[in-house]
Chain A
Amino acid sequence: AQSVTQLDSHVSVSEGTPVLLRCNYSSSYSPSLFWYVQHPNKGLQLLLKYTSAATLVKGINGFEAEFKKSETSFHLTKPSAHMSDAAEYFCVVSPRLRRGGADGLTFGKGTHLIIQP
C-alpha cells in the first residue's frame, strides 16, 4: 500500500524568494517519486523524478527535491521564485519495480503555488 500527502493546499511566496512545497509519502516498498507541474488549462509536465540514484534530484526550471527515507519526505524546492512558476504541483509515488499491470501511481491532492509580484 502507498499514499502521498501534500502538506499544503496553497503556498504563496513573493517573486525572488525561495519556494518549498512539502510532500510526505508512505510505501511498503522502495518507491519511485515524482513531481509534476500543471499550468492553468494545461496537461501535466514532469519536473523531476527519484528512482534510487542520488537522493538530491535536480529537475527543470531550477527545481530540485531531496529524498529523505528516514523522514519519508520528498520536498520540492527552488531558490528563487519566478512569476512563471505559478501553477499546481503534484507529488506522485509509484512502485519502483513494475511487472506489468496498472501503474500503481498515487497522486497527491496538489499544491497551488501563488507568486506575488
Chain B
Amino acid sequence: NAGVTQTPKFQVLKTGQSMTLQCAQDMNHEYMSWYRQDPGMGLRLIHYSVGAGITDQGEVPNGYNVSRSTTEDFPLRLLSAAPSQTSVYFCASRRLLGGGADTQYFGPGTRLTVL
C-alpha cells in the first residue's frame, strides 16, 4: 500500500488566494490529522479527525478548514492565504484504538510559500 500521500509537494500562492492541500491514506485509519512545521520548531497540530464526518481543531486552526467525507481523504483548505502560513504541512494517520494506535504515519509533506 502507498501509506499516506500528499499533493502537491510544492506550492506558491499570493496573499489572499485560496487552495486545498490533499491528503489520502490507504490503511483504513480512523484518525487523521494535519500539522505544520516551522523552522526551529516541532510540529504543531492544525486540525484532526477521528472518523468520517467528525473533525475538530488543534493547536493552530485559524485560517484553515478541513472536512472528512470519507475514511481515506482529509483535505486541508486555506481560505485566504497569508505570509504567516508559509510552512511545511504534514498529514498523518493512525488507528484510533487498539494495538499500534499510538503509531502515527506521516505523509511526505507539502512545502507552501505565500508571497
Contact = CB atoms under 8 A, between A and B. Distances in A.
Interface residues of A, number: 28
Contact of B107 (A43, A96, A106): A43
Contacts of B74: none
Interface stretch (B65-73, B79-87, B97-105): B97-105
B68 to A, nearest CB: 14
A106 B43 CA distance: 8
State which size class the interface on B falls in.
20 to 34
B102 A94 contact: yes
Nearest to A4: B42
B56 A110 contact: no
Interface string A22-46: 0000000000101010000111111
A51 interface: yes
Given A42-B108, A102-B58, A103-B33, A49 B103 contact: yes
Contacts of A34: 102
Nearest to B58: A102
Contacts of A94: 102
Interface string B4-47: 10000000000000000000000000010100000011111100
B106 A51 contact: no
A63 interface: no
B46 to A, nearest CB: 11
Contact of B56 (A92, A101, A109): A101
A100 interface: yes
B56 A105 contact: no
Given A43-B108, A102-B58, A51 B43 contact: no
Contacts of A102: 33, 45, 48, 56, 58
A110 B107 contact: no
Interface of A: 4, 9, 32, 34, 36, 41-46, 49, 51, 90, 92, 94, 96, 98, 100-103, 105-110
- Report, nearest first, the 4 A-B pairs whose CB atoms are least far apart: A107-B42, A44-B106, A43-B106, A43-B108
